[in-house]
Amino acid sequence: MKVVNLSEHNSVLNQYLREIRDVEIQKDPLRFRRNIERIGEVMAIEMSKVLHYEPTEVQTPLAKATVNTITDQLVLATILRAGMPLHHGFLNIFDRAENAFLSAYRRENADGELEIVAEYMAAPAIEGKTLVVVDPMLATGMSMEVGYLALLRHGTPRHTHLCCTIGTPQAIDCLRRSLNDSEDVTLWCAAIDPVLNEKKYIVPGLGDAGDLCYGTKIHLSDRK
């Protein structure tokens, strides 16, 4: 599995990263969502450089022109709900892509261990296509792993791109083990942060991306 850390290079992406981490800017959900979306747009453009192309002819008002265009059949998949703004950013660039949606959430077992529960998936066939799975926070890697393996029920993709806003070394190691370090998978991270805390949140990270986008949620354990 190839890993691309986009924050290692100077680009406007780093401005959006700074803003989504800023606790003051986070108070504006619209701006937070838009910055996540813009990160998706930049990541999609960077990813487009490694896709497959062929020359095609187009008729202009004056003459014919030849333009290299993408030949990959793209499927954009996201994990609800936090993944929606990042997914939208990718879809702004890859506007002809098919789309897939999965639900996955953390649940604590009786022994205190966390597990990822997936309950819903709507996806097209992905056999021979280029699969792009986006999820903003790659903390343990478990959600991405569960989502990716669920999508494989719909076929074997030509290549898979896993994309996150912020990842961790622990999550990268988890995916390498789970995917047997497959050469058919590329992981794209806008940034990679060093550690997880005791609640499995990324540090320094940015907090709960889903809550910052859409408001706080009630957990099953909070219900009376």
The string of pLDDT tens digits covering residues 12-70 is 999 999 999 999 999 999 999 999 999 999 999 999 999 999 999 999 999 999 999 99
How far is it, in rounded angstroms, from Cα 86 to Cα 185?
19
The string of pLDDT tens digits covering residues 195-216 is 999 888 899 999 999 999 998 8
> What pLDDT band is residue 107 in, cutting at 50, 70 and 90?
low
Burial class (CB in 10 A: 0-12, 13-18, 19+), 26: middle
How far is it, in rounded angstroms, from Cα 149 to Cα 183?
16
Confidence (pLDDT) at 53: 98
> What pLDDT band is residue 108 in, cutting at 50, 70 and 90?
low
Contact 96, 74 (CB under 8 A): yes
> What pLDDT band is residue 78 in, cutting at 50, 70 and 90?
very high
Q: Return the H-helix or E-strand segment holding 137.
A: strand 137-138
Confidence (pLDDT) at 21: 97
The domains found in the chain, sorted by start residue, are 2-52+70-217 (3.40.50.2020)
223, pLDDT greater than 50? no
Confidence (pLDDT) at 11: 95
Measured in whole angstroms, the distance separating CA 136 from the mean position of its chain's CA atoms is 5
Confidence (pLDDT) at 64: 97
The pTM assigned to this predicted structure is 0.90
158, pLDDT greater than 60? yes
221, pLDDT greater than 70? no
The string of pLDDT tens digits covering residues 94-105 is 999 999 999 876
Measured in whole angstroms, the distance separating CA 8 from the mean position of its chain's CA atoms is 18
The string of pLDDT tens digits covering residues 164-188 is 999 999 999 999 998 887 789 999 9
